Amino acid sequence: MTIEVPEKAEAGERYAVVWAEVSGVDGANIRNIGRTGIRVYLSVGPGGEPVSGFEVGPLTGGRTPQGDPYVTAEVRNTGRRALDLAGELWLTDGPGGLSVGPVKAEARTLPLGGTAVVRVHLDRRLPDGPWAAKLALASGWTKRTVTGAVSFGAAPAAAAAGKDRTDQVLAGGLVTSGLVLALFAVYVHRRRARFRQPVPAG
């Protein structure tokens, strides 16, 4: 593959992807498709590749509504080209001397001047903390490392199970049954009273 850049093209970086695909039919109804792609970063202008750079903000710990702990950090692209970020997180000096890691950080593409939050999800069994955390991120040869103390906070209380209404249902059933029996007894008593009335002499 060759990319021909026009002489009058403005300086800057372009992004593209080149796809290659082959396909075939296996039998009458199944179609097999194979694809591969190449990501392109095309820098136009003198002076070689644009400078890459990014800043990583403080580390913050938290928990999802489901109770899963995570560590986040805000990353800002301060360079002159897009970044493909990836990295790893370590936790040390936790409760009881526990350590965790390395745990892979979520990879993402950060455009020029862009800001994104990198979130690392962890096992929900981890205790609250505090932990000593270290996050290392890299895009190509450009690397940054940030450290800090994090805590996840107490796990949210599990959704309360539906209130057990067994006793209420049972009590209601007993009351209803009692009323039915009482009404039936009154009915039987009245019928007996009618049949016991003396018949007037002819």
What pLDDT, in 10s, does the model give residues 96-139? Answer: 888 998 999 877 788 888 999 999 999 888 888 899 999 999 98
Task: Tell me the per-residue pLDDT of 76-87, one tens digit each, with 9 for 90 and over.
Answer: 999 888 888 899
Strands 131-139 and 83-92 come out as: antiparallel
Same domain, 97 and 132: yes
Domain annotation covers residue 162? no
Same domain, 64 and 123: yes
Same domain, 65 and 116: yes
Same domain, 109 and 82: yes
Residue 50 CB partners (closer than 8 Å, separation 6+)? 13, 43, 79, 80, 81
Which pLDDT band holds residue 164 (cuts at 50, 70, 90)?
A: low
Contact 1, 18 (CB under 8 A): yes
Same domain, 72 and 135: yes
Task: Tell me the per-residue pLDDT of 50-74, one tens digit each, with 9 for 90 and over.
Answer: 788 999 999 999 999 888 999 999 9
Same domain, 125 and 142: yes
Same domain, 5 and 19: yes
Same domain, 64 and 139: yes
Tokens of 112: 């020029």
Q: Which residue, among 54, 51, 52, 79, has the nearest Cα to 144 in the 3D structure?
A: 54
Domain annotation covers residue 194? no
Domain holding 11, by residue range, is 1-48
Task: Tell me the per-residue pLDDT of 169-201, one tens digit each, with 9 for 90 and over.
Answer: 455 555 555 555 666 565 556 656 555 555 555
Helices (H), the chain: 166-196
Same domain, 80 and 117: yes
Reported pTM:
0.59
Domain annotation covers residue 165? no
Domain count, the chain: 2
Same domain, 130 and 62: yes
